[in-house]
Amino acid sequence: MGPSDDPLVLLTGATGYVGGRLLRALENAGHRVRCLARRPAYLGGKTGFRTEVVEGDVFDRKSLAGALDGVRTAYYLIHSLGAGASFEEADRRAASGFAEAAREAGLARIIYLGGLGRPETGLSAHLRSRQEVGEALRASGVPVVEFRASIIIGSGSLSFEIIRALVERVPVMVAPRWVRTLTQPIAIEEVVQYLVAAAELEPGPGRIFEIGGADQVTYGDILLEYARQRGLRRLIVPVPVLTPRLSSLWLVLVTPVHARAGRLLIEGLRNPTLVEDDAALTAFPVRPMGMKQAIARALENEDQEFAETRWSDALSSGAGVRSWGGVRFGARLVDSRVVRVAAPPARAFAPIRRIGGATGWYYANWLWRLRGFLDTLAGGVGLRRGRKNPEWVEVGDTLDFWRVEAFQPGRRLRLAAEMKVPGRAWLEFEVEGDADSSTIRQTAIFDPAGLAGLLYWYAAYPLHRLMFRGMLDGIARAVE
């Protein structure tokens, strides 16, 4: 059987958090994937060579017919949480229309990710809607494999962003009673593993699988464990008077969610979301990790993805949230600038390669010495270490109060801060160009640790902006 004869999988929601992770996993597993997207341009550069992207909408039956042509298995990862007060009706209508189109196309299976919770406990509108979508998909007669999950922990997930923002920004959390609600968080990697494995099931009737991590914990436990792993001391004070509406308004002040979405999510936090049927552990080769490991993995993956990101690409595409203090990517704050010089990349990079030590920092060296002196007083490394080679660096070398984290000769130098700061900081230089001219991009990145980190960044930002701008101009003068 040739590549074009491989079974075709349809993926909806590929531009979403879970869908984006699932797309990569399906491609890595060798599946031939077709993505249905209302805006195909959003998937530009994110798909493999065997993956096709078709324009369509789950509310448009004509587009669904074309998208489902030749498909045997479809993933349904659509929800309308941001659709306003009518999101439940929109979810039901979308699911019913998709399921009918799937039946007419002769699909063998629909795979769906829903939410845990017992209906008899009076589910919130959000959780109730997730389960109603599963029912609407099954009503068509197409076999449905439905996974029901609790909170998903992973770098970039909405749940994780809320947890992080709450812990990082609020030293004392006055929290409603939902912090005592039991839940069974699961790592995003394991959710994706379940979803991929479902495509390999033998043909047969549909089934509901409840999936969760190894631990049953409260939401308060998750908040405090995140704080512990980030080295933050946090106090949670539960109070009975915060309604979902008041909680959502408070949430929107300190987290990256809109008030309505926050209210819907908070209403769902009152419902215990625990696995009561562990059949998934028998049916699939997935062995979930515990809550502590899931948080550690999320932080580790976040660091890896962050280190691999080219901030020049992200900034030029308009990604991130722009503010006076730079651009915010998740919890990180980024200040980036460029200068163009009339020199090829190798010559443009030469002053960057020599930065620090006896060469200095190309602008206001007295300020850098003052910063080093203050760092020494605070018990830090200061500027005493200098650099071992004035002309060359290698990964792992010390460079004043920085350490070389990445080095590509003629192209890139990335420094990780080792001075005393309330968080983690990096300084990166990238050079691109041709035989006649080059662009030098300088990027300062800060991952603040709690409220103290945010106060430090914004208080020091005017001075940092002056110093970094002067440094880049000094590098340009050294080149030319």
- Give the Cα separation of 474 and 472 in Å (integer): 5
When pLDDT is cut at 50, 70 and 90, the band that residue 119 belongs to is confident
When pLDDT is cut at 50, 70 and 90, the band that residue 310 belongs to is very low
**What are the pLDDT digits (tens) for 204-263?**
888 999 999 999 999 899 999 999 998 888 888 877 765 655 665 566 555 555 445 556
Question: Going by C-beta distance under 8 Å and a sequence separation of 6 or more, which residues neighbour residue 284?
Answer: 193, 194, 197, 198, 209
Please state, for a pLDDT cut of 90, what percent of the chain lies above it. 46
Please give the tally of structural domains in the chain.
2
Q: Between 326 and 460, name the one with better pLDDT.
A: 460
Do residues 223 and 340 share a domain? no
Helix (H, G, I), strand (E, B) or coil at 412: strand
What angle in degrees, to the nearest 10, is found between the helix axes of 259-268 and 125-138? 80
Query: With 80 as the cut, is the pLDDT of residue 72 above it?
Result: yes
Q: Are 148 and 116 in contact (CB under 8 A)?
A: yes
Q: What is the mean pLDDT of residues 394-415?
A: 90
Burial profile 29-60: b = 16 or more Cβ within 10 angstroms, e = fewer: eebbbbbbbeebeebeeebeeebebeebbbee
**pLDDT number for residue 39:** 82
**pLDDT number for residue 4:** 52
When pLDDT is cut at 50, 70 and 90, the band that residue 376 belongs to is confident
Query: With 70 as the cut, is the pLDDT of residue 330 above it?
Result: no
Query: With 50 as the cut, is the pLDDT of residue 435 above it?
Result: yes
Q: Which domain holds residue 333?
A: 310-479
Do residues 159 and 255 share a domain? yes
Do residues 422 and 277 share a domain? no
CATH of the domain at 332: 3.30.530.20
Do residues 338 and 250 share a domain? no
Query: With 60 as the cut, is the pLDDT of residue 83 above it?
Result: no
- Output the pTM of the full model: 0.72
Beta bridge partners of 444: 335, 427
Q: Are 298 and 151 in contact (CB under 8 A)?
A: no
Q: What is the mean pLDDT of residues 186-195?
A: 96
Query: With 80 as the cut, is the pLDDT of residue 5 above it?
Result: no
Do residues 76 and 33 share a domain? yes
Last residue of a domain, one of 250, 269, 304: 304
**pLDDT number for residue 306:** 59
Beta bridge partners of 209: 147
Question: Going by C-beta distance under 8 Å and a sequence separation of 6 or more, which residues neighbour residue 276?
Answer: 118, 210
Among the listed residues 283, 413, 287, 293, the one whose alpha carbon sits nearest the alpha carbon of residue 345: 413
Do residues 143 and 288 share a domain? yes
The per-residue pLDDT of the chain, averaged, comes to 84
Do residues 92 and 205 share a domain? yes
Residue 276: exposed, middle, or buried by beta-carbon count in 10 A (0-12, 13-18, 19+)?
exposed
**pLDDT number for residue 274:** 94
Q: Are 100 and 34 in contact (CB under 8 A)?
A: no
Helix (H, G, I), strand (E, B) or coil at 56: coil
Among the listed residues 302, 33, 331, the one whose alpha carbon sits nearest the alpha carbon of residue 161: 331
CATH of the domain at 254: 3.40.50.720
Query: With 70 as the cut, is the pLDDT of residue 122 above it?
Result: yes
Query: With 90 as the cut, is the pLDDT of residue 71 above it?
Result: yes
Q: Between 3 and 93, name the one with better pLDDT.
A: 93
Amino acid (1-letter code) at residue 310: R
- Give the Cα separation of 49 and 32 in Å (integer): 10
Last residue of a domain, one of 271, 304, 337: 304
Do residues 288 and 375 share a domain? no
Do residues 439 and 403 share a domain? yes
Beta bridge partners of 144: 110
**Region of poorest pLDDT, from 149-163, 181-195, 412-426:** 149-163
**What are the pLDDT digits (tens) for 22-63?**
999 999 999 999 999 888 877 777 788 889 999 988 888 888
Beta bridge partners of 319: none
Last residue of a domain, one of 304, 323, 353: 304
Do residues 113 and 58 share a domain? yes
Query: With 90 as the cut, is the pLDDT of residue 296 above it?
Result: yes
Q: What is the mean pLDDT of residues 120-126?
A: 78
Q: What is the mean pLDDT of residues 82-104?
A: 82
Do residues 111 and 171 share a domain? yes
**What are the pLDDT digits (tens) for 151-169?**
999 877 777 877 887 788 7
Q: Are 479 and 350 in contact (CB under 8 A)?
A: yes
Q: What is the mean pLDDT of residues 164-187?
A: 83
Query: With 50 as the cut, is the pLDDT of residue 317 above it?
Result: no
Strand order across the beta sheet in which 71-76 lies:
52-55, 32-37, 8-12, 71-76, 109-115, 144-149, 207-211
Do residues 367 and 229 share a domain? no
Residue 241: exposed, middle, or buried by beta-carbon count in 10 A (0-12, 13-18, 19+)?
exposed
